[in-house]
Amino acid sequence: MSERKVREVWPGIFLIPLPLPMRPTIVNAYLLHSRDEWALVDTGINSSDSIATLDAALKRVGCPPDKISKVICTHYHLDHYGASQTYKDRFGASVYLNRLELESSHAFMRRRRGDDVVMFFIRNGLPIDRFAQIPSPGEFWAELYVPATPDRFIEDGDVFTVGDFQVEVITTPGHTPGHCVLYLRRQRVMIAGDHLLPKITPHVGLYPGGPENPLRDFLASLRKILPFDVSLVLPAHGGVFMDHRHRANQIIQHHDYRMQEMLDAIRRQPRTAYDLAALVFSFDVDSSIAVQFPATFETLAHLEYLRSVGRVVREERGEHVFYRAV
């Protein structure tokens, strides 16, 4: 990754694109600088390529690594928290994270899938016989995910400083249970993490052991940020943009359309989440698991939201769960 792509997107705020070995292929980390203090927002993965890219960026903008006092992570995912321990050790910085994210990070622990997870797959129609040998997320990503124990848990409404920057925490659950957006009120800048992306919609999936209605949480979080006065949004993927209300409403409309599409499909006949996902997301059993798994979990999130508002019922048929439009 060329260090020339590092740029100052607001006085004292630098965008640092870090490479990823999956799609999206880049995650944006942000470096805040005010007076003699620096802070890093999100870490990228724990790979030599990503670490070297960050090192080059720090050199380019004139940031002494030992001046980074805070590593602030929007959520626990691999590309946002994966190198947090590495940078905590190297910089001597304090790590900030929401408490729910630390609990969720255990999903990336190096361990095999439990029987409860396998049963969750079976009940929702995933052809587990084809996926039995696929490693769990913790096994697959173990070398790239070295999470730190946070030094400070951040909660909704918390305010902390980076030099003269006043950084306000807005909890925006949905993409993950404790996802946080960072808001610089005086600058009218919002560091959005994965909550608000300019070109793609954040993944919102229902997982075993996770929140029961993540799409409800996500839609509420989109509406939560609408009243804020924002002149610039700094997303984790894609370019910076200005109209946060327009983009939030676009994403809400996208999910409304997706739910109507699913309702139409299960009005004709009940389906498992996997079968419905294959229809709506246009995949088959030979498609990449990087498509099949997320699409099924996202379909489940939509179905459970629809069930919570009385538009869908869930039916047990043997070892499978089917959904039917009311």
Residue 24 DSSP code: S
For residue 251, give Cα distances in angstroms to 180, 201, 207, 247. Answer: 18, 7, 21, 6
CATH of domain 3-264+276-325: 3.60.15.10
Q: Please say if the pLDDT value at position 280 is more than 90.
A: yes
For residue 259, give Cα distances in angstroms to 47, 80, 114, 185. Answer: 38, 29, 31, 35
Phi-psi region of 214 (alpha: psi -120 to 50; beta: other; left: phi over 0): alpha
Higher pLDDT pick, 288 / 260 = 260
What's the predicted TM-score (pTM) here?
0.94
pLDDT single digits (tens) 11-64: 999 999 999 998 899 999 999 999 999 999 999 999 999 999 999 999 999 999
Rounded Cα gap, residues 186 and 166, in angstroms: 8
The domain locations on the chain are 3-264+276-325
Rounded Cα gap, residues 74 and 147, in angstroms: 13
Q: Please say if the pLDDT value at position 3 is more than 50.
A: no
**Confidence grade of residue 111 (pLDDT, cut at 50, 70, 90):** low
pLDDT of residue 319: 92
**Confidence grade of residue 129 (pLDDT, cut at 50, 70, 90):** confident
Rounded Cα gap, residues 314 and 301, in angstroms: 13
Looking at the chain, the whole-number percentage of residues with pLDDT higher than 70 is 95
pLDDT of residue 289: 86
Q: Please say if the pLDDT value at position 167 is more than 80.
A: yes
Q: Give me the chain's average pLDDT, please.
A: 94
Q: Please say if the pLDDT value at position 2 is more than 50.
A: no
Q: Which run of H or E residues covers position 232?
A: strand 232-235
Partners of 94 in the beta sheet?
70
pLDDT single digits (tens) 182-238: 999 999 999 999 999 999 999 999 999 899 999 999 999 999 999 999 999 999 999
Q: Residue 227 — φ and ψ, nearest 5°?
A: -70, -15
pLDDT single digits (tens) 49-103: 999 999 999 999 999 999 999 999 999 999 999 999 999 999 999 999 999 999 9
